[in-house]
Amino acid sequence: MPQLNPEFFVSQLFWLAVFFTFLFVFLWRVSLPRIATVLEKRQNKIDENLSSAKELQEQAMEIEKKINDQINKAKLETDEKIKETINALQENVSAQLSSLDKDLEKKVSDAEKEILKSKDDQMKNINNEIVNITKLTVGKITDIELSDNELNKVIETHKGNFN
């Protein structure tokens, strides 16, 4: 087996030492720090982005909160307005109802007065008609001219009998 031939042992060990030492020092001093720098840079970038994302998220949450507040506020205001409007309308309606009531009452009372007045008028007319009829009747039967005053007196005295 060539592996057990000591002829080249020293040579192998020597070159192994040379190349491995070179490799170790080169990687240690040059290559690995480079890769480490890149990885660190990337990690920093990621952290930065993460923190800014977090910030943005917080801002978004704040804005959302503001929006919700505004919505709630608007709701409350609307409710208030609706209530106010309902109240105003109700007041209006009741005011109108009461004025209508008054109007109606007035109209009723007016009508009552008119009725009374026309009743009086009618009664007066009836008196006049009675006077006229009596005058005509008496004139036809007896040729006596009766004055209105006399007739009125008589009628007044006998009025109780008509009713």
Residues that bind another protein (CB under 8 A): 1-5, 7-17, 19-20, 22-24, 26-28, 30-32, 34-39, 41-42, 45
Cα–Cα distance, 56 to 24 (Å, whole number): 46
- Minimum distance, C-beta of residue 57 to another protein, in the bound complex (Å): 23
Whether 138 contacts 144, CB under 8 Å: yes
By C-beta, is 34 or 65 nearer to another protein?
Answer: 34
Going by the DSSP 8-state scheme, the letter that residue 145 receives in this structure is P
> Measured from the CB atom, is 25 or 111 closer to another protein?
25
Cβ-proximal residues to 144 (8 Å cutoff; 6+ apart), any chain: 138
52: which residues sit within 8 A by CB, 6+ positions away? none
**Least Å distance between CB 33 and another protein?**
9
Nearer to another protein, 8 or 120 (CB): 8
